[in-house]
Amino acid sequence: MAVLCKPAIAVPEYIITRDDTLELARQLHSGHTQLNLVLRLIEHTGVVRRHLIQPIDKVLEHPGFDARSAIYEEESKARVPDVVRRALDQAELEPRDIDLIIYVSCTGFMMPALTAWLINTLGFRSDTRQMPIAQLGCAAGGAAINRAHDFCRAYPDSNVLLVACEFCSLCYQPTDIGVGSLLSNGLFGDAVAAAVMRGKGGSGVHLERNASYLIPHTEDWISYAVRSSGFHFQLDKRVPGTMEPLAPALRALAEEHRWDAGNLDFYIVHAGGPRILDDLSRFLGVPHEAFRFSRATLTEYGNIASAVVLDALARMFDEHSTQDGQRGLMAGFGPGITAEMSLGTWESGAGGG
């Protein structure tokens, strides 16, 4: 059985608070015709602070796409190894025990992917399989969990390392002044997360079923325009309403497993913003408290893209309230509009976590 062990998380040392963000918006966009709307939207994100890999003055400089790509490579190599080691320790495994590394990131690009460097640097076997995922955005955290589950079902004795590396601050574009872009400037944060899915043993979430769902004809609602200056994030104003069409997909997955999506013991979902969580609570008929782990991630770190689900899961581990056999749902949402969903039960068996 595939068990997702306790994730390890790291956030950078530079912090920007909500008040800092609001003041920057006033300074940088004093003549913007919709500034008051932007300020209200930022105030209602639920984000109190975010962590950045560089001081805010460096982020605002934007030295160019090539310089940012160099920063991405340097910072990922500096920050990912420690998180990987902690995730392996929490799963009670060594690098040589890993059969597949899934690396997800939508905020920087490298070829070969960081997986090759990790294999060469941290002692993974040379026959370790690699699966980089670069274009699923925030949904990639859920996709990594699902592809790890698929792999462990195909190869039951295998172990999979999941790594999410998101430096959203490297996507800041000073020339993008649409309301959606300015809102994103107050929403996204930087983080690195990793977790291990064990094919046998371990404690954590025993994965039982997974699925994907794409809302038809919404592929331009969340997107990047890739230009010489880098990735330009584009957010349609209809995105906050996507839980209404996605909630039935979550219900359908649970029903296939003879579960009720509105009557589970834990929920680990991507916290894109407070309305996403509020609507999902309403459409699934679950209490506000059900999404406390995701809300805490949003409040303390902002939207950390694909790393959200792993951070929220780590918070559930830390709460120590989940009991053997309790059932739950995990989901990541992102461009497409895509949902990557999974069901699992809590297992506190022998092994890490």
**So which residues are the catalytic ones?**
138
Dihedral (CA of 303, 249, 255, 343) sign: negative
Dihedral pair phi/psi, residue 205, rounded to 5°: -95, 115
Burial of 164 per CB tally in 10 Å (0-12, 13-18, 19+): buried
Angle between helices 243-256 and 274-284 (to 10 degrees): 50
Dihedral pair phi/psi, residue 125, rounded to 5°: -65, 150
Residue 102 bridge partners (DSSP)? 131, 162
Asked if 101 and 209 count as a contact pair (C-beta separation under 8 A), the reply is: no
Dihedral pair phi/psi, residue 50, rounded to 5°: -140, 160
Residue 15 bridge partners (DSSP)? 51
> What are the angstrom distances between the C-alpha of 166 and each of 19, 206, 221, 292, 322?
23, 26, 20, 22, 28
Dihedral, CA atoms, 54, 57, 63, 68, nearest 10 degrees?
Answer: 20
Q: How many CB atoms lie within 10 A of CB 85?
A: 15
Burial 250-289, CB ≥16 within 10 A → b, else e: bbebbeeeebebeebebbbbbbbbbbbbbbbbebbebeee
Pull the structure tokens for residue 309.
Answer: 């689900």
